[in-house]
């Protein structure tokens, strides 16, 4: 298995879309979410050996269930015949030949949930697509690169079933963004045709945690973006593997040959610098990349659905990008410009 490495001294000043304004609902939510983060954040960094990930999974899934408001018409059913665990997420607007490979978040140790399926469904509604939501194997039971291999296997299965790569796009959320990038690098090395597009939502793409925003945004981060918990999850995922491996940390990879991308991140996210560096690496490789920087919002704000204007705006932007990559987005750019006031 080989992955091309990017010269760490290379740089590129990439244009970025600054999404203006923060709604009053967003301000209130940030305040409440920040208070919750201070109350429930661990008083001291947990030790990897003492971290009870099974209890953490149960508690997180309970919380996610409370936060989830599934869109009307969402249908979820197992992907029969798939080589890995996966579900089809379908909306009434979905077209059968349009497929999104959806790679959920969860810091590599937390599994699929209805919260992520609901996010996939809202994107499907906007893009008139259906999603194959991959329930990849989790660490620590299945460390790196199991999750990457599962996503790659799911995509190869779609192609073997007759799906057109021009009608497939990847969506990766946070840790799922890093996994999606790793899977695409693995598929590229195998000579597999690339999908038509790639959407990354604040991707965790640097296991070395060397991005400047890890420090500059540390005090602005919330429970959903806690550096101590991230370090524990990283150790459970890598289990001694080199964090600088480009397959685990795509910020250090040559991204030549990957599909055009849309990247979204909040200006206060710990992973902001991961998003910026992936955007720059794509542009260095001659790939069209759109980076949208949103006003201060908690990590994963896109999952909040219709609760906030910022969430609706982000999902509309994702849907418009996907529609353009499918080739029927003639008016998408105009709608996007009107929505973002640019």
3-state secondary structure the chain: CCCCECCCCCCCCCCCEECCCCCHHHHHHHHHHHHHHHHHCCCCCCCHHHCCHHHHHHHHHHHHHHHCCCCCCCEEEECCCCCCCEEEEECCCCCCCCEEEEECCCCCCCCCCHHHHHHHHHHHHHHCCEEEEECCCCCCCCCCCHHHHHHHHHHHHHHHCCCCHHHEEEEEECHHHHHHHHHHHHHHHCCCCCCCEEEEECCCCCCCCCCCHHHHCCCCCCHHHCHHHHHHHHHHHHCCCCCCCCCCCHHHECCCCCCCEEEEEECCCCCHHHHHHHHHHHHHCCCCEEEEEECCCCCCHHHHCCCCHHHHHHHHHHHHHHHHHHCCCCCHHHHHHHHHCC
Give the pLDDT confidence score for residue 338 in this predicted structure: 45
Residues 241, 235: contact at Cβ < 8 Å?
no
pLDDT band at 301 (very low <50, low <70, confident <90, very high): confident
> How large a percentage of the chain has pLDDT more than 90?
62
| Residue 4 confidence (pLDDT) above 90 | no
Q: Residue 168 belongs to a domain with what CATH number?
A: 3.40.50.1820
| Residue 9 confidence (pLDDT) above 70 | no
Report d(CA 105, CA 103) in Å as an integer. Answer: 7
pLDDT digits (tens, 9 = 90+) for 119-176: 999 999 999 999 999 999 999 999 999 999 999 999 999 999 999 999 999 999 999 9
Give the pLDDT confidence score for residue 331 in this predicted structure: 45
pTM: 0.88
Determine, yes or no, domain membership for 1.
Answer: no
Domain residues for 224?
A: 17-337
Report d(CA 181, CA 198) in Å as an integer. Answer: 9
| Residue 30 confidence (pLDDT) above 90 | no
Report d(CA 326, CA 123) in Å as an integer. Answer: 14
| Residue 14 confidence (pLDDT) above 50 | no
| Residue 278 confidence (pLDDT) above 60 | yes
Determine, yes or no, domain membership for 9.
Answer: no
Determine, yes or no, domain membership for 70.
Answer: yes
> How large a percentage of the chain has pLDDT more than 70?
84
Report d(CA 135, CA 27) in Å as an integer. Answer: 33
Determine, yes or no, domain membership for 46.
Answer: yes
Instruction: Give the sign of the dihedral formed by CA 57, CA 227, CA 317, CA 325.
Output: negative
Give the pLDDT confidence score for residue 235 in this predicted structure: 95
Instruction: Give the sign of the dihedral formed by CA 235, CA 241, CA 247, CA 253.
Output: positive
Determine, yes or no, domain membership for 134.
Answer: yes
Residues 89, 74: contact at Cβ < 8 Å?
yes
| Residue 299 confidence (pLDDT) above 80 | yes
pLDDT digits (tens, 9 = 90+) for 47-101: 777 788 888 888 877 877 777 788 999 999 999 999 999 999 999 999 999 999 9
Determine, yes or no, domain membership for 342.
Answer: no
Determine, yes or no, domain membership for 182.
Answer: yes
Determine, yes or no, domain membership for 95.
Answer: yes
Q: What is the dihedral of CA 331, 19, 212, 147, to 10 degrees?
A: -40
Q: Which of 24-28, 113-117, 294-298 has the lowest average pLDDT? A: 24-28
Tell me how many domains the chain contains: 1
| Residue 194 confidence (pLDDT) above 60 | yes
- Mean of per-residue pLDDT scores for the chain: 86
The residue among 245, 269, 99 whose CA lies nearest residue 181 is 245
């Amino acid at each position: 298995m080989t992955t091309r490495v990017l010269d760490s001294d290379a740089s590129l000043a990439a244009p970025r879309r600054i999404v203006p304004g923060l709604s009053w609902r967003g301000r209130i939510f940030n305040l409440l979410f920040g208070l919750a983060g201070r109350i429930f954040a661990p008083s001291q960094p947990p030790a990897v050996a003492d971290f009870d990930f099974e209890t953490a999974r149960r508690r997180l899934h309970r919380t996610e269930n409370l936060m989830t408001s599934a869109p009307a018409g969402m249908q979820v059913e197992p992907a029969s015949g798939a080589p890995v665990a996966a579900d089809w997420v379908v909306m009434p607007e979905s077209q059968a030949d349009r497929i999104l490979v959806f790679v959920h978040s969860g810091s590599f140790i937390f599994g699929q949930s209805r919260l992520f399926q609901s996010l996939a469904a809202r994107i499907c509604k906007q893009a008139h697509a259906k999603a194959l939501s991959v329930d990849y194997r989790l660490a620590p039971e299945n460390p790196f690169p199991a999750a990457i291999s599962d996503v790659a296997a799911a995509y190869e299965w779609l192609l073997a079933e007759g799906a057109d790569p021009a009608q497939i796009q990847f969506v990766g959320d946070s840790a799922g963004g890093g996994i999606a990038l790793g899977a695409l690098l693995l598929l590229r090395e195998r000579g597999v045709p690339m999908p038509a597009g790639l959407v990354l939502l604040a991707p965790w793409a640097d296991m070395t945690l060397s991005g400047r925003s890890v420090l500059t945004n540390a005090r602005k981060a919330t429970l959903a973006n806690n550096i101590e918990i991230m370090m524990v999850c990283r150790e459970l995922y890598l289990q001694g593997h080199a964090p600088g491996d480009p397959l685990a940390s795509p910020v250090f990879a040559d991204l030549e040959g990957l599909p055009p991308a849309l990247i979204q991140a909040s200006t206060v996210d710990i992973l902001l610098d991961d998003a910026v560096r992936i955007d720059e690496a794509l542009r260095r490789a001659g790939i069209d990349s759109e980076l949208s920087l949103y006003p201060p919002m908690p990590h994963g704000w896109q999952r909040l659905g219709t609760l906030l204007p910022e969430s609706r705006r982000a999902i509309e932007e994702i849907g418009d990008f996907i529609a353009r990559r499918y080739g029927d987005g003639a008016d998408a750019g105009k709608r996007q410009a009107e929505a973002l006031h640019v």
